[in-house]
Chains A and B, each alone.
Chain A
Amino acid sequence: MLRLIGRRLLAAIPNVIGIVIVTFILTRALPGDPAAFYAGPAATQEAVEQVRAKLGLDQPLWAQFVDYVGDLAQGDLGLSVSTGQQVLDEILRRLPASLELTLLALLVACAVALPLGIVAATRPGSWIDHACRLITTLGVSLPIFFTGLLLAYLFYYLLGIAPPPVGRLDSMFAPPPHLTGFYLVDSLAAGDVALFIAAGKQMILPVLTLAIFVLAPIARMTRAGMLGVLSSDFIRTARASGLSSSTVLYRYAFRNAMLPVVTTMGMVFSFMLGSNVVIEKVFAWPGIGSFAVDALVQSDYAPVQGFVLVMALLFVAINLMIDILYTVIDPRVSIDD
């Protein structure tokens, strides 16, 4: 197991190097001149050149790259020009907001999609199977910003049962003392139930939006996986041995059907991190997605590079977790590997 983890981490190194190079070049290739942007529209040519020199952008590309890598090696992601803050600090402060949203949405999506997929597979052609198909089709065909706006319009503006989409907390509340950065966890740790409820309320709409989006692939995969497994020979053996239908369904079929579902969940989690950029804009969520978009609009290189790098590291970590989960579920994997 440890060897597997070590090998996967080693294999990730070239990926990370590639990502560092590509994000560096991509941000430089973006249209717009940051020096002109920060000098302001009324600035003279001279003033723009001064800003450029201050930002180090008058150096040749390779020198800028060496600079960047040198800083990176010391754990320095650079300074955000627009906010004047350390990019690393900013990302670390905002990451829990995004992760809390994403993880909770994944949990909600699984809680709905797994039973839905299982029931649909055990009764193919029934009304619940058709319902499963309808929900999954809706889930994949509705763009996420549309679902977000629709839910906010419906439940906040029209019905007034959801809190306004103003971020993680209503202005009446102060954030809980920092522990994990997850407000739900931190508020409970502080024993503040009112705060927990307030934070939870704010999460309902964005979590629902994300969950509807990722419910579809998980439910489809669960249904397909279960259908495949339920028609396999070893299920027939289990039934022929008189094992109870719940044992056959869960201990025998579901665990085998989990293999493709776990793979899907890894992909889905990656989609969700990407979709955060949109969701956070719609719900004014102070996560890393909205941070990256703001920086991009302002040609602020360092935060964009930092964001992409952190996302890449998250992907590597998720894939590693999926691989480990695979070896836990399927004894054949560790041997074949």
Chain B
Amino acid sequence: MDTRVPLLSVESLGVEFRTRGGIVHALEDISFSVGKGETVGIVGESGSGQSVLFYAVLGILDAAGRITGGRAVFGGLDLVRASAPELEEIRGREAAMIFQNPRVALNPIRKVGHQIEDVLARHTSTPSADLRRRAIEALASVRIPDPERRYHAYPFELSGGLCQRIMIAIALACTPSLLVADEPTTGLDVTTQAAVMDLIGELARQRNMATVLITHDLGLAAEHCDRIVVMHAGHVVETAPTAELFAHPRHPYTARLIATTPHAGSDLRSLAAIPGYLPDLRRSDLPACRFSERCERAEPACGERPLARLDAGGVHSVACRSPL
């Protein structure tokens, strides 16, 4: 058992969205933790609520979203109950986030150097005469060649890979203790993907920074993460150290996810798709286990509340009535 005090500890977090089509039960009873300097993967097919989870934790949900309950303790402060100014202080300084599609995630009409300076000016007491130098240092720290020249570049003048490095430079400018990387390599080509992931890993080690990697790619998570949290339709279904998860997946969804992950040399026909779709989260009759309608091991009891949670030994936990 991990005895260190976790950096981020999320307990029973729930999130709803009010839409014209009804209330979307986006997240229900989410619990997990991230230790100092640890790399945790949040894995699940797109639409499982991984991004929304961290929007909620960092206080950047859009107006239609609402936290229904739970806690998210980060550095001793419960972010769910923190005020908007408190959250603004933490975002970018203590906990930063980077996103997919870096070319559209940067302000298109502002020089990238100035975008870094904006964050530095907001969170540090850097005298304005030094801002430029520190912005160039931030660019250099993410290995952008010729940082003095790139300082003046606009996002449209840079490649996707360079834009993602700029995003990382913005996120890490104030040396946060937690970086949330939301599908950071989506939209980049394969060699750039590897370079970006290596850069994140290396900077995290240098600064003893915890990293959360949100991805739908179990292979990517396996390569970079100490521990993996598997999410499905707004639930955490399984949490385990990476090696253990791959060796002994206990949740049927995790097992399916592993089977659907292509690896070198595998035949296209041997790739199994997971049957069915994510359930419509606007339904009022959602079963306790949101995977039960896609699951071949489902029994009538699976629909009954509460959702069963099993301790599968050590730090391995699974939310299933009949685990593998």
Chain A residues packing against B (C-beta within 8 Å): 124, 231-234, 236-245, 247, 251-252, 255-256, 329-332, 335
Known contacts A232-B104, A247-B122, A331-B154; is-contact A240 B97 (Cβ 8 Å):
yes
Asked if B76 is an interface residue, CB under 8 A from chain A, the answer is no
Set A241, A243, A332: member contacting B108, Cβ < 8 A: A332
Q: What is the predominant secondary structure among interface residues of chain A facing chain B?
A: helix
Q: Which of B145-180 contact A (CB under 8 A)?
A: 154, 156-157, 167, 170-171
Find out whether the CB atom of B60 lies under 8 angstroms from the CB atom of A241.
no
> Can you name the residue of chain B whose Cβ is closest to the Cβ of A240?
B97
Set A242, A256, A329: member contacting B122, Cβ < 8 A: A242
Set B92, B105, B123: member contacting A233, Cβ < 8 A: B105
What CA separation (Å) do A241 and B116 show in the bound complex? 10
Asked if B273 is an interface residue, CB under 8 A from chain A, the answer is no
Chain A residues whose C-beta falls within 8 Å of the C-beta of B15 in the assembled complex: none
Chain A residues whose C-beta falls within 8 Å of the C-beta of B119 in the assembled complex: 241-243
What CA separation (Å) do A252 and B108 show in the bound complex? 9
Asked if B58 is an interface residue, CB under 8 A from chain A, the answer is yes
Chain A residues whose C-beta falls within 8 Å of the C-beta of B88 in the assembled complex: 242-245
Known contacts A233-B99, A236-B99, A237-B167; is-contact A243 B107 (Cβ 8 Å):
no
Find out whether the CB atom of B170 lies under 8 angstroms from the CB atom of A241.
yes
Chain A residues whose C-beta falls within 8 Å of the C-beta of B122 in the assembled complex: 241-244, 247
Set A231, A236, A330, A332: member contacting B60, Cβ < 8 A: A236
Q: Chain B, 79-113, contact with A by CB distance < 8 Å: what is the 0/1 string?
A: 00000100111111100110101001111111000
What CA separation (Å) do A239 and B108 show in the bound complex? 15
14 additional contacts (CB under 8 A) given A241-B118, A241-B122: A124-B63, A233-B104, A234-B108, A240-B92, A242-B88, A243-B88, A244-B88, A245-B84, A255-B109, A256-B107, A330-B108, A332-B108, A332-B156, A335-B157
Find out whether the CB atom of A242 lies under 8 angstroms from the CB atom of B93.
yes
User: How many residues does chain B have at the interface if contact means C-beta atoms less than 8 Å apart?
Assistant: 33
Instruction: Write 13 A-B pairs (CB below 8 A) sorted by A numbering.
Output: A234-B105, A237-B99, A237-B107, A238-B107, A240-B97, A241-B119, A241-B122, A242-B122, A247-B118, A255-B110, A329-B109, A330-B108, A332-B109
Top 5 nearest A-B pairs (CB, nearest first) are A242-B92, A242-B91, A241-B92, A240-B97, A233-B105
Chain B residues packing against A (C-beta within 8 Å): 58, 60, 62-63, 84, 87-93, 96-97, 99, 101, 104-110, 118-119, 122-123, 154, 156-157, 167, 170-171
What CA separation (Å) do A232 and B105 show in the bound complex? 8
Q: Whole-angstrom distance from the CB of B69 to the nearest CB of chain A?
A: 23
Find out whether the CB atom of A233 lies under 8 angstroms from the CB atom of B60.
no
What CA separation (Å) do A252 and B99 show in the bound complex? 17
Chain B residues whose C-beta falls within 8 Å of the C-beta of A331 in the assembled complex: 109, 154, 156
Find out whether the CB atom of A242 lies under 8 angstroms from the CB atom of B89.
yes
Find out whether the CB atom of B106 lies under 8 angstroms from the CB atom of A237.
yes
Known contacts A238-B107, A240-B91, A242-B93; is-contact A233 B101 (Cβ 8 Å):
yes
What CA separation (Å) do A241 and B122 show in the bound complex? 9
What CA separation (Å) do A319 and B68 show in the bound complex? 52
What CA separation (Å) do A329 and B109 show in the bound complex? 7
Q: Whole-angstrom distance from the CB of A66 to the nearest CB of chain B?
A: 50
What CA separation (Å) do A245 and B87 show in the bound complex? 12
Chain A residues whose C-beta falls within 8 Å of the C-beta of B101 in the assembled complex: 233
Q: Whole-angstrom distance from the CB of A304 to the nearest CB of chain B?
A: 43
